[in-house]
Structure 1
């Protein structure tokens, strides 16, 4: 048999390729037709299920059409919505409920339907974890609809569905979503903040998740979810907004103490996990307003706050407000409180972004007139000493702060001016001066002997290069006619604000001509003398040339 020629073969191939090419417009029409056929098939299967039990096998067909067998990247959302309607009707009709009086075949059908319902819920959970954002939002709505139907129409599952069923999978998927902030915000805004029963069980699930050691990213998500929930309810709060109507009958869900207990457990589980330093600071910032109101027993925060207070630096500053709340409201015994507060006064504090917050708190801590004069004197002296090297924005807070302390504790005013009546001692002091008795290295503020010293540092600040600082330092040398200074007027000073204040004012005439370099030197870095100098090196800059050898 003769073999076919090469030309005939290639021609035949080209013809087949040409026939296989389909225009894009036709492909689009074909795809739309296929989609329409699928929708028609889904509607037909759903209608048959509603007609008779003999079509219950259509449920298995619809589940297979979800397209989530291997992964849930491209699910068929139309099928997911259709199945939600199917199971909602079946649950409302009691077809998934097994009763003891039912016939054996009825029990078998109910068990089979329950198994298909579990498959469907598992598919929705997979979509929540693996699909794109749009599909996740749809799956979230369908999941919550299923929870509502099961909790409403299936006796005995009203609590189980929240604690160990579909809702647990929802919270885990929301937490594991990672950077998908859209899904998280959708759940918080649409469900957790809107419905009190959803928020209650969200606290339960977060507490369960945080019981085991979690990654830093997961803990950050849990913190954001907890802090995004509404503020703690007041004792007179009435619970009215429930996602599931049957929740009104649950005594725990209408109890303020029960809600606070669940939130308290969730926060404690997070606080006791392996939180990072940045997360610790975040928690301390929101401690007073977002965390402590949820605690029926705030003393449970004692370990966390005292550990944070002992860390030092900015962490200690942030822990101050929460710790003082426990001391003031819950009678927490912290005997070393003022000693620790005194240790926080270091040069870094005056450059910290939390400086304003610290001065507000310290103003509260030192407001009592029953504090020892030696203690107050130590704080004033320590602040005055730090002011010598502090930025101007911090000095303008320190001086009014010391002024207010002197007004509150007049016993310490002897630090401003001491009268030496012994002429011999007075002459000796004028001739030789004296050592400052203040012990700057002593950690105990009651033993620094600051009360025997003076505030000479404030006198030095009266000659500060910045005119605002020098002007405000002079209030210590004047009569104390003003009752108190409002610290809030000085706490927001910054370099930028000072510069803008100077640049924003109209040009003022100079009272004194500033000293400037008016003689332009002929040489700075060389020793070669010009002939017109007569061989004499008299030009400015000779000092620089004398310190280094330049070629």
Structure 2
């Protein structure tokens, strides 16, 4: 039969398909057109043939969906005998009833139609417009098959086909986001399906770790498929509106109760159904259930071994898109503490969410400041997420209960970094140090730390001792423990060198630290966001906009006799040899 149909398919034209569809819709006598139209719903068929067959089949099945038996109630070929004679008689009569047999056959063809639609949907040969039409048809069946209720089985199969397909998921996500995620039941069952997919992936990961893998190629293929599935699940989850935005809507619109939801169109049934739904579920109950499903889906997803790209995307947005909408945000403490312990860029990105849990949800992290101290490296000031990190760094050091040694260690560490970062980083560091000195008056001695030579009036007696200790800084930049860094006995000599920085903006900004920051009434904190997004380009634009009163000229009033002063380098001579001008 299949070979006959395949031969006939080549002879059919678009006009023939239209006539087949019209005949099928006209009477039951043309029911044999149904398998012919089904044969054209395939990726190998031309798009116009697929659309024409799809429209005819959809028009045929839509009025019959409420009459079709469920898949589970389809009788098997061999009827088992039951102990009760009456029940066995009813089963045999039902199985021999022509109408039951006909509806059972229709149900099997409908299931085949849905299966073929899923194949066309995720086929690489299908065009985007055809995918849009097929997805819309499947969503109509999700709405219509269970009269007045969401058919979660077809929707789960739809999402499963999308996640496990080789096609780019952006097309499907755009369609779902623009047309269907505004309905609360679609979002609800999407969370449920995502949680099921995650549990399946988690089970496969556990079984894969236990199994003995023979070849490395099999291992790499399984990792790639796992990473691809995780990435697709994240794309769908990240596009669903969060529960709080859903709760703001006064009317919780449902896809299964939207217009044209069934073949039975009496208005009374719709009104009764809406009244029943509104009486059963209040807006607060719906919001609680949505938040619970949201929490289960995200928590189960974060347990998976996330690829690095997905990991960074999650950490970059989890503080705004996930934490505020969880039923219990403290459930993320394990995930965030592990991320913070990784180090590098991952720790920088996890800092924002971890800080929220510490300040708003009572999370205790004993080594928080030690880890934060270790993140202060030159590469942070050129990282992609440096702006958010520097704002959080300033917020973490704002507490007046911060120990003096800790404030001094961060101040000195930032001061040392100012020697090896771009000019924009030096500006941010100066602003951070300004805020630290203003908040913690106990470390203001770092600004005007005097040496033994300047403190002793008798310079001649202390000269050998001073020269021996000249240039020694008690601060240990390589020490990872702020307690042992020796910052309290040091000074901010690095900031003093910025007075002669090659960038005018930096040299002009340094004198702001000379003001008496202990008088808090006369000073205000600097906003780090005004400096953390700077770059060479922004500094250059600001400089060319400035109105310069005095133009610096490149000439000397007196000709220099040495390159450096002898007081800067004791024991060294930098005199310029005088040339003999005699002829």
- TM norm. shorter chain > 0.5: yes
Larger mean CA deviation between 480-489 and 460-469 belongs to 480-489
Task: Identify if the C-alpha distance between structure 1 residues 113 and 459 changes in structure 2 by more than 3 Å, giving closer, same or farther.
Answer: same
Q: Deviations over 1:152-189 (max 9, x none)?
A: 26xxxx46x31xx2212211233325325333311221
Q: Map Cα deviations across residues 245-302 of structure 1 (whole Å, 9 max, x no partner).
A: 2694775995222212222222233322232222211110011111223321222222
101, 112, 131: which one aligns with 1:119: 112
Structure 1 residue 149, shift from structure 2 partner: 0.8
SS at match of 1:215: helix
Greater relative contact order, per chain length (Cα 8 Å cut-off, separation 6+): 2
* Residues 96 and 114 in structure 1, CA contact (< 8 A), matched pair in contact too: yes
Kept in 2, the 8 Å contact 1:90–1:96? The answer is: no
Distance 1:73 1:378, change over 3 A: farther
Query: What does residue 129 of structure 2 align with?
Result: 134
Q: How many pairs were matched up?
A: 474
> Does structure 1 retain, via aligned residues, the 8 Å contact 2:186–2:255?
yes
Instruction: Compare 231-240 and 397-406 and name the one that shifted more.
Output: 231-240
Counterpart of 1:441 (choices 478, 503, 517) is 478
Candidates 353, 366, 383, aligned match of 1:352: 383
Change (3 A) 1:318 1:33: closer
Deviations 1:183-230 (A, max 9, x none): 3311221112x2111111112212222231553233222222211121
Whether the 8 Å contact between 1:73 and 1:127 is mirrored in structure 2 is: no
Which of 324, 337, 341 is residue 306 of structure 1 equivalent to? 337
The match for 2:162 among 159, 174, 178 is 174
1:341 to 343, 353, 372: 372
Matched, 1:475 2:512: yes
Q: Matches of 1:252 and 1:321 in 2, distance apart?
A: 35
Partner of 1:183: 172
Offset at residue 37 of structure 1 (A)? 3.4
Q: CA deviation at 1:306?
A: 1.4
**Partner Cα separation in structure 1 for residue 516 and residue 355 of structure 2:** 34
User: Do the aligned partners of 2:195 and 2:296 also contact (CA within 8 Å) in 1?
Assistant: yes
Find out whether 1:199 has 2:187 as its counterpart: yes
Partner of residue 512 from structure 1, selected from 549, 553, 572: 553
Within the alignment, does 1:240 sit opposite 2:248 as a pair? no
> Which of 382, 386, 394 pairs up with 1:363?
394
Q: Which runs of 5+ in 1 are unaligned?
A: 1-30, 516-537, 540-551
1:514 CA displacement? 6.0
Which residue pairs with 2:532 in the alignment?
Answer: 491
The alpha-carbon distance between structure 1 residues 45 and 351, as it changes in their structure 2 partners (threshold 3 A), is closer
Report if the CA contact (8 A) 1:237-1:256 is conserved: no
Question: Hey, what does 2:4 align to over in structure 1?
Answer: none
1:62 corresponds to which of 24, 30, 37: 37
Distance 1:418 1:395 in 2: 21
Task: After superposition, give the CA deviation of every residue in 1:126-166 in whole Å (9 maximum; x if it has no partner).
Answer: 1112232222111111111111111226xxxx46x31xx22
Deviations 1:6-26 (A, max 9, x none): xxxxxxxxxxxxxxxxxxxxx
Find the aligned partners of 1:497 and 1:76 in 2 and give their Cα distance: 56
Distance 1:315 1:498, change over 3 A: same
Alpha-carbon separation, structure 2, partners of 1:507 and 1:415: 33
Q: TM-score, normalised by structure 2?
A: 0.74
Deviation at 1:71, TM superposition (A): 4.8
Out of 393, 408, 422, the position equivalent to 2:439 is: 408
1:35 Cα deviation after fit: 2.5
Quick check: 2:23–2:30 contact (8 Å CA) kept in 1? no
Indicate the SS of the match to 2:554.
coil
Matched, 1:48 2:27: yes
1:35 aligned partner: 14
The alpha-carbon deviation at position 454 of structure 1 amounts to 1.2
Corresponding residue for 1:226?
237
Structure 1 equivalent of residue 52 of structure 2: 78
Distance across 2 between alignment mates of 1:83 and 1:120: 8
In structure 2, do the counterparts of structure 1 residues 465 and 80 end up closer, same or farther at CA, with 3 Å as the change threshold?
same
Q: CA deviation at 1:510?
A: 2.0
1:388 equivalent to 2:419? Answer yes
| Structure number, greater radius of gyration | 1
1:89 aligned partner: 63
Q: 2:289 aligned with 1:258, yes or no?
A: yes
After TM superposition, the structure 1 stretch with the greater mean CA deviation from structure 2, 243-252 or 340-349, is 243-252
Structure 2 residue 298 is the aligned partner of structure 1 residue 278: no
SS in 1 for 2:65: helix
* Structure 2 Cα separation of the partners of residues 438 and 170 of structure 1: 62
Given the alignment, which residue of 121, 138, 144 partners 1:143? 138
- Pick closer, same or farther for the CA change 1:226–1:331 going to 2, 3 Å: same
- Retained in 2: the 8 A contact 1:128–1:140? yes
Shift of 1:507: 7.5
**Contact 1:232–1:293 (CA<8 Å) still a contact in 2?**
no
8 A contact 2:68–2:107 mirrored in 1: no
Q: Residue 438 of structure 1 contacts residue 453 of structure 1 at CA under 8 Å; is this kept in 2?
A: yes
Query: Structure 2: how far apart are the matches of 1:366 and 1:82?
Result: 68
Distance 1:229 1:277, change over 3 A: same
Query: Take 1:182 and 1:172, find their aligned partners in 2: how far apart are those partners?
Result: 15
Structure 2's unaligned 5+ residue stretches are 1-9, 75-86, 206-224, 258-272, 557-578
Deviation at 1:498, TM superposition (A): 1.7
The 2-side partners of 1:67 and 1:220 are apart by 30
Please say if residues 173 and 239 of structure 2, whose CA atoms lie closer than 8 Å, have aligned partners that are also in contact.
Answer: no
User: Secondary structure of the equivalent of 1:492?
Assistant: coil
Contact 2:118 2:161 in 1 (8 A): yes
Alpha-carbon separation, structure 2, partners of 1:220 and 1:47: 47
SS at match of 2:295: helix
Instruction: Give 3-state SS (helix, strand or coil) of 2:322's partner.
Output: helix
